[in-house]
Structure 1
Amino acid sequence: MTRSEPAARPSLPCGPDELRSLFLFAKLSQEQLNWLCEHGRVEHFDTGPVYTEGDPASCFFVLMEGSLVISRRIGSEDVEVNRTSERGVYAGAWRAYLGDRVPQRYDSSLRVLAPSRFFVLDADRFAQLIQEWFPMALHLLEGLFFGIQNVQQAVGQRERLLALGALSAGLTHELNNPAAAAVRATSSLRDRVAGMRRKLGTIAAGPYDRLALETLIRIQEDAVEHVSKAPALSPMQAADREDELADWLDEHGIADGWELAPTFVQAGLDVDWLATVTDALDPGIREGALRWLNYTLETELLMNEIEDSTTRVSTLVAAAKQYSQMDRAPHSTVDVHELLDSTLLMMGRKFGKSITLVKDYDRSLPAIPAYAAELNQVWTNLIDNAVAAMPDGGTLSIRTGLVGDRLLVEIADTGSGIAPEVQGRIFEPFFTTKAFGEGTGLGLDISWRIVVNKHRGDLRVESRPGDTRFQVLLPLASPPPES
């Protein structure tokens, strides 16, 4: 039994004239004031709690004398939202008129700072009052409440669909590049294999003894091994080596050496290697052997390109699955770093070359119980806002760590920052600083609901020009079921 239930304490005298002195009841008729005293009661509360957030909303309270504090649970903390001594302030079961269509639970906690008196009306009596005394107002309030709720759901769904559409377009583009590269490489590979068959026929018909063939095969294997160890060269370095190799080939009687040089350089071969190889070959077969070797290297390089492209496709598909959590239960134990990386991979096309990504992960952090797909939506919203705040480029930093008994994910940018006068409003539904048509104002509101309401965590922001940080704090233990 809660402290707000009727049997919790004896009732005090209720005077219609005192009720009329409260702003909430000032316009009521004498008959209505008498009805309130008949069906309600006045109760005295000592310093301490009156009701607790989440408990069944059984009573409607109006402060007659004293001082109160209203607080809401955010993460692991009780955050004060109102402190007042103003007579007539009300709280409690104010949504009772909506009946079973909404959960009838206290959405905050109420405590008194000093001995206080309240006018108390049971929830069902409050609902009766609204329905019988203010029938038109009832319809207006119902329409307003459910209308806002429906608009938020519809626009929230639209926000998610827009984000999904943008990510899908980016993913399609990212998949198309490696897929097209694999198709091109496969077509080129077919030509190179055909060329190798012709060269092999020429070699078989040529003046090659067994020892020469064994030497060719050994050279081929050595060249293929070089491909796997080829260094990464800048365009300038590659051009210099190609010129050096082309000149060397021309000096040693290999016609059109400039055609062979790019492949040899890409495979990691240099002049010293070619000199060693040609010394081991009979002068009469050197040119044919080098051209056959060129086909071998081109084939190996093309196969590497196909492997890289298909691996990229596979990685992107795996990231899409990880991002959507399509093959996992809605609530599971997850590694936040996997979620962050999959989101970054999905959004990589938005960064461009002007934004530098810095990741500072604490890999010792444990996996946590969470709604993974919805956390990915939070990362998407925060990263998208960070990128939008840096139209001329900057640094996007993502850091993880441990703060007390909660896991921290911090997403920071070096943009212009959030003006101090609007920082307190950025989590409000439909509030946006973007130009008309560029944002719905629900991204941060949705993120707040996912982090705070669904995960019992906390979402904070610190901002000044050149340094804006959104901090998501998530409990390491499983949060209570969502109400």
Structure 2
Amino acid sequence: MSDQETERLDREQLRTLFLFEKLTDDQLDWLAEQGRVQWREAETCIFAEGEPATCFYVLLDGTVMQSGRVRGEEVEVIRTSQRGVYGGAIRAYMPDDPDQLYANTLRAITDCRLFVLPAAVFATAMREWFPMAVHLLEGLFYGMRRTQTMLGERERLLALGALSAGLTHELNNPAAAAVRATSTLRGQVAGMRHKLAMIADGRLDGTRLHHLVELQDEAVKRAASAPTLSALETSDAEETLADWLDEHDFVDGWRLAPTLVGAGIDTDWLDQVALAVGKENLDPAVRWLTYSVETEQLMGEIDDAVGRISGLVGAAKQYTQLDRAPYQTVDVHDLLTATLTIMKAKIPAGVRREKYYDPNLPAIPAYAAELNQVWTNLIDNALGAMGETGTLSVRTGREGDMVVVEIGDTGPGIAPEIRDRIFEPFFTTKPVGEGTGLGLDISYRIVVTKHRGDIRVSSTPGDTRFRVYLPITPPPVVLADAEPAVGA
């Protein structure tokens, strides 16, 4: 039959649809009179997003697909063949929104048969037959929308504030270290200039001065490759070196010994210095060499501090994805590492971290910044469950055509009676004022709705694991946050 040919349903046929099964005979007769049956051929549009919402549709036979548009791209939300699901002008009865538009697009995947009511007819039936329900639905719809918007914004602001505070704390440590090292370096360079003037005032001939410069280069190389000593070994080495300096009439040799030992310098090497410059120039020569070593160590500290700052800034850019396309091919390990770096300050000292990354894990197409939000929510919940002590584990692997990311903790676990509710909006086990109940709901939407993946949880006391499954190959269309599903 063509799209234009129509038929009617009688009272008993309408009663077989779950949406109408509790209506009275008179109500069913009225709907049967007002409604029509329409056929739509496969791959045709039933209604399009943005057009005036003129009809309410109920699926009788066939398969339909609901989609929305994100930045000009059509995004599939749901595909179903369940008899009785509905869509279209589902809020036509809202008195404050008379000129409604279709919020999404509905397409026939196969040949479809639908029961169609004009929007005005559907609105009249709702308002006259269920006036109290209309008031309740109106309040629920607008109230929930306002509440979810406000709490969602607050949830993001609180998370951003906590992460900003943590990042500031992490940046402050290397920045302060660089400032301290720079200040000390200035004094050491001044000391080097003074000692060099004493050495080079004519008391050393050219050969000895050249040999001393060679020893300086060797001292710097020793410092760069100095072995790490235990506390006992360090103490013994410093004592031996201090005794050597005392024997050679150094007034405060104990002050020089720690620096020289840290640079891997021993008494044999100092004997070479004495031989090179002579006893009368030994004190200023050793102090000059000590300044050289300290200068190299301080420059190493500055380099390390600046490297840490650069690493944190890089982690922040990786976490926020500010300079990158929203949808891209990403390495999950990079995202996890960036999130852990950003959250480092929030992890208590008593919580041990374990990482088990699969080295053969492939890159996947994903919304990177939003996946970082998922990791943040799951890690934050794990830390909240454990308190000050425990083990936070992050694992990755592959199962078939899915990448699996597992966030585990050793907290008390999730009680079986609430396990099925943890992904519900606004459901939280945290005390009043400490949680909005949106973290896992947002994570679920990002993973399941947007990436067509899955989140699973297993929990026993001392072992709770959230497993996130993400497809390795991109879905046919990129998924976006969904409107309520057809017939939801």
How does 1:29-428 map onto structure 2 within 5 Å? Answer: 30=26, 32-40=27-35, 91-93=85-87, 96-98=90-92, 100=100, 103=103, 120=115, 122=117, 124=119, 125-131=121-127, 133-134=129-130, 137-428=133-424
Residues 97 and 128 of structure 1 are in contact (CA less than 8 Å); yes or no, is this contact kept in structure 2? no
Give the distance between the partners of 2:17 and 2:395, measured in 1 at CA: 56
Structure 2 contact 212–276 (Cα < 8 Å) conserved: no
Q: Are residues 425 and 237 of structure 1, via their aligned partners in 2, closer, same or farther at CA, if it must alter by over 3 Å?
A: farther
Q: What residue number does 2:483 align with?
A: none
- 1:44-88 deviation per Cα after TM superposition (whole angstroms, max 9, x unaligned): xxxxxxx99x9869766599xxxxxxxx99xx9x999xx9xxxxx
Displacement of 1:267: 1.6
In structure 2, the residue matched to 1:481 is 478
For the residue of structure 2 that corresponds to 1:96, the secondary structure is coil
Alpha-carbon distance in 2 for matches of 1:440, 1:258: 60
Query: Structure 1 residues 389 and 95, CA, compared in 2 at 3 Å: closer, same or farther?
Result: farther
> Offset at 1:423?
0.9
Distance 2:47 2:114 in 1: 19
Q: Secondary structure at the match of 2:413?
A: coil
440, 457, 472: which one aligns with 1:444: 440
Which residue identity lines up with residue 14 of structure 1 in the other structure?
R
Q: CA deviation at 1:341?
A: 0.7
Partner SS for 2:295: helix
Q: Show structure 1 runs of 5+ residues with no match.
A: 44-50, 64-71, 84-88, 110-117
- Comparing 211-220 with 136-145, which one deviates more in the overlay? 136-145
Q: CA contact under 8 A between 1:418 and 1:463: conserved in structure 2? A: yes
Partner of 1:14: 11
Q: Secondary structure at the match of 2:371?
A: helix
User: Pairwise mapping of residues 441-480 of structure 1 onto structure 2 (< 5 A)?
Assistant: 441-479=437-475, 480=477
Hey, what's the Cα distance between the residues in 1 that align with 2:419 and 2:10?
A: 47
Residue identity matched to 1:283 = K
350-359 vs 316-325, greater mean Cα deviation: 350-359
1-side partners of 2:138 and 2:235: how far apart? 74
What is the rounded CA distance, in whole Å, between the counterparts of 1:343 and 1:330 in structure 2? 17
**Is the 1:20–1:27 Cα contact (8 Å) retained in structure 2?**
no
Cα distance in 1 for partners of 2:210, 2:18 equals 106
- In structure 2, C-alpha distance between the alignment counterparts of 1:428 and 1:197, rounded to whole Å: 69
Q: C-alpha distance in 2, partners of 1:191/1:248?
A: 26
Q: Is the 8 A contact 1:97 1:131 kept in 2?
A: no
C-alpha contact (below 8 Å) 1:96/1:123 kept by paired residues: no
Matched pairs, number = 453
Distance 1:384 1:271, change over 3 A: farther
1:69 counterpart residue number: none
Q: Which amino acid aligns with 2:262?
A: Q
Matches of 2:183 and 2:16, distance apart in 1: 89
1:294-343 superposed Cα distances (whole Å, 9 cap, x missing partner): 11111111111111111111111111111111111111111111111111
Rounded Cα–Cα distance in structure 1 between residues aligned with 2:22 and 2:276: 109
Q: Percent identity over the alignment? A: 53
TM-score (norm 2): 0.81
Is 1:416–1:465's contact at 8 Å kept on the other side of the alignment?
yes
**In the aligned structure 1, how far is the partner of 2:351 from the partner of 2:467?**
20
Q: C-alpha offsets along residues 392-414 of structure 1, whole Å, 9 cap, x if unaligned?
A: 32221111111111111111112
- Note if contact 2:330-2:363 (Cα within 8 Å) is conserved in structure 1: yes
2 CA distance for matches of 1:164 and 1:156?
A: 12
Q: Which amino acid aligns with 1:431?
A: F
Give unpaired runs (5+ residues) of structure 2.
49-54, 61-65, 68-75, 93-98, 481-488
CA distance in 1 between partners of 2:223 and 2:12 (Å) = 95
Change (3 A) 1:13 1:445: closer
Distance of aligned partners of 1:481 and 1:325 in 2 relative to their CA distance in 1, 3 Å threshold: same
Query: Which moves more between the two structures, 315-324 or 348-357?
Result: 348-357
Structure 2 partner of 1:68: none
Separation in structure 2 between the aligned mates of residue 476 and residue 123 of structure 1, nearest angstrom: 43
Instruction: Tell me, yes or no, if the aligned pair for 2:410 and 2:463 is still in contact at 8 Å.
Output: yes
Distance 1:102 1:424, change over 3 A: farther
What one-letter code is carried by the residue in structure 2 that aligns with 1:231?
P
- Residues 104, 330 of structure 1: CA spacing in aligned structure 2 closer, same or farther, 3 A cutoff? closer
Q: Tell me, what secondary structure is at the counterpart of 2:343? A: helix
| Equivalent position SS for 2:200 | helix
> Partner letter of residue 363 of structure 1?
P
- Per-residue deviation at 1:136? 5.8
Secondary structure of residue in 1 paired with 2:408: strand
| Residues 11 and 25 in structure 2, CA contact (< 8 A), matched pair in contact too | no
Farther off after superposition, 427-436 or 279-288? 279-288
Query: Contact 1:59 / 1:92 at 8 angstroms: preserved in 2?
Result: yes
Q: What amino acid is aligned across from residue 144 of structure 1 in structure 2? A: L
- AA in 2 matched with 1:96: I
- Deviations, residues 175-229 of structure 1 (Å, cap 9, x unaligned): 1111111111111111111111111111121511112111211110100001111
